[in-house]
Structure formats: structure tokens, C-alpha cells
Amino acid sequence: MKENILKPLRTFGRSKGKPLSTNQELLMQKEYPKIDISKSVEFAKNPLSNIEGEVWLEIGFGGAEHLLWQAKNNPDITIIGVEPFLNGIVKAVKGVVDQGLRNILLYRGDARQIINLLPDSSINRVFILFPDPWQKKRHNKRRLINEKLLSDLYRVIQKGGALRFGSDITDYVDWVLTKIKRHNGYEWHASERKDWMERPENWPKTRYLEKALREGRQGYFFDFIKF
Ligand SMILES: C[S@@+](CC[C@H](N)C(=O)[O-])C[C@H]1O[C@@H](n2cnc3c(N)ncnc32)[C@H](O)[C@@H]1O
């Protein structure tokens, strides 16, 4: 099946971004290796083996605002942040150091790679917040969320665990809801609650969402529960 082939996503075109300052270079040299699991042979061989308690996974954390907030507010939970974009990684590392956080691990690269490594039922919560929309119909196939990703996440999320998804693009929301319904393994109480237009308290705004709101777009917020 075509979707099974791990083709690089177009997003990686800008995965480098603007050059790092001297301080950022230093952070990347000294601090990043302490929390980086993307090059860890141990992690690849035996992922999560030395972690106790819940593990959450944030895919495409961008500027790391949400990742850092969750880590600070849930100190007993290990949160793995995945992001290909170097400038996002640097922001996360800086936040970890500035706030003295001890519960963040970082994976620089394509989320699909780390998901392939993760054991079955090993993750309690997954966050995919405001993924790149790829709005033109002919670009839809580049969207991160598709049938294959939903199946792979279904494998790694524990029963009763959640996939949290947000978007400001109604077409992407429709796209995801259709695929979630078709998958049939995630529960969403659409008819009972109209809460998908209200941001939950434990869902801090990111710079991306702030921009969307400034530009007059509404955010849509979902928790899909694996049953
Ligand atoms: C529109 S931004 C949203 C960032 C952040 N979640 C927020 O709400 O502010 C989408 C992010 O997903 C990242 N991304 C795209 N493809 C990815 C992939 N295959 N694996 C992990 N992250 C990815 C991008 O680099 C980008 O930072």
C-alpha cells in the first residue's frame, strides 16, 4: 500500500530555519544531548524500558509552548516531544533548562519513525495540535493525519488513553473526523457535548493558535479515546 512507505514529508524542506545564535549553539551542544532520544541506540533497541509512570507524546510541538506547559504542570509524567524543525527543538531545550524541567525527552525527526519504534500500548496520551493543514486538495495526501497514522497510534496508545487533536481548518477537522469514524477504534461523544469549540483548561494556547485567533479563525478541540 502506498501509504506504508515512509516518504519524507514536505515539511522537512524548512526543518533547518534561521541560523542559531551562539547561545543556542551552546544549548544544542551541552544540553540537548542530555534529553535527545533521536540518536540513542539504547532507545531504538529498548524504547521506554527505563521510564516509570505515564508517557505522553506530542507530535509536531512547533514552538514548544504546549510541551513545556504540560511538562511543568505534570511533573510525574514523561513527555516525549517530536519535531523536525531545529528552531523548535532549540526552544524546547531552552525551556527545559530555564524552567529546570526533568520530564521532557526530545525526538528530532519524523513522528512516524518514533511511532514505529514504540511498543504496543505504551503511551497514555498523544497530542497533535494544529498540524500543517495542506489545504489544497492535491496536497491533502501530505497531511500528517491519515488512516495509517491513526492505526499506528491506535497500536501504541493504551486502552482508555487519548489522542488529542486540534485545528483551525474546518476541512482538516472534517478529514480527521471522517477517518476517526471509519477507524472505529476511537470514541468521541460528538452528540453529547458541543465542547469541540471550547479550548479545555488543560490545553494552553500556542503561538500558532494565537495567530489563528488574531486572523479570525476558530480553534476546534478534540479528545478521541481509544476503546
Ligand atoms: C502548524 S505547526 C503547529 C505547531 C504546534 N503544534 C502548535 O500548535 O503551535 C505544525 C508542526 O508540525 C511539525 N511537523 C510536520 N510534520 C511532522 C512530522 N512528520 N513529525 C513531527 N512533526 C511534524 C512541523 O514542523 C510544525 O512544527
What pairs with residue 157 in β-bridges?
123
Mutate to test the pocket of ligand 1, among 132, 146, 172 (most ligand atoms within 8 A of CB): 132
**Active-site option among 36, 98, 132, 171:** 132
List phi, psi (to 5°) of 144: -65, -40
Grid coordinates given for 129: 495540535
Question: Which residue intervals of the chain are DSSP H helices?
Answer: 22-30, 32-35, 41-45, 65-73, 86-99, 111-117, 147-156, 170-183, 207-214
**225: Cβ–Cβ under 8 A, 6 or more apart, which residues?**
160, 161, 162, 186, 187, 188
Whole-number pLDDT of residue 193:
60
Residues 107, 117: Cα–Cα separation, whole Å: 12
DSSP state of 58: E
Q: Whose alpha carbon is nearest atom 1 of ligand 1? A: 132
The mean pLDDT values, 10 residues at a time, for the chain of 227 residues are 51 69 97 96 92 97 98 98 96 98 97 96 98 92 96 98 96 96 88 77 94 96 95
Whole-number pLDDT of residue 85:
93
pTM of the model: 0.94
- What superfamily does domain 2-226 belong to in CATH? Vaccinia Virus protein VP39 (3.40.50.150)
**Angle at the Cα of 2 (from 153 to 111), degrees rounded to 5?**
35
User: Does 171 qualify as catalytic in the annotation?
Assistant: no
Count of residues in the chain: 227
Whole-number pLDDT of residue 11:
60
List phi, psi (to 5°) of 35: -120, 5
Mutate to test the pocket of ligand 1, among 7, 10, 58, 61 (most ligand atoms within 8 A of CB): 61
- Distance, CA 27 to ligand 1 centroid (Å)? 22
Contact 150, 191 (CB under 8 A): no
- HSE, CB side, 13 Å, CA atoms: give it for residue 25: 5
Whole-number pLDDT of residue 206:
92
- Distance, CA 144 to ligand 1 centroid (Å)? 9
Could you report how far apart the first and last alpha carbons of the chain are, in Å? 26
- Give the position of cell 528530532: 108
Q: Whose alpha carbon is nearest atom 14 of ligand 1? A: 60
Residues 194, 212: Cα–Cα separation, whole Å: 21
Whole-number pLDDT of residue 28:
97
Q: Which atom of ligand 1 has the smallest separation from the CA of 15?
A: 25
Q: Which atom of ligand 1 has the smallest separation from the CA of 65?
A: 9
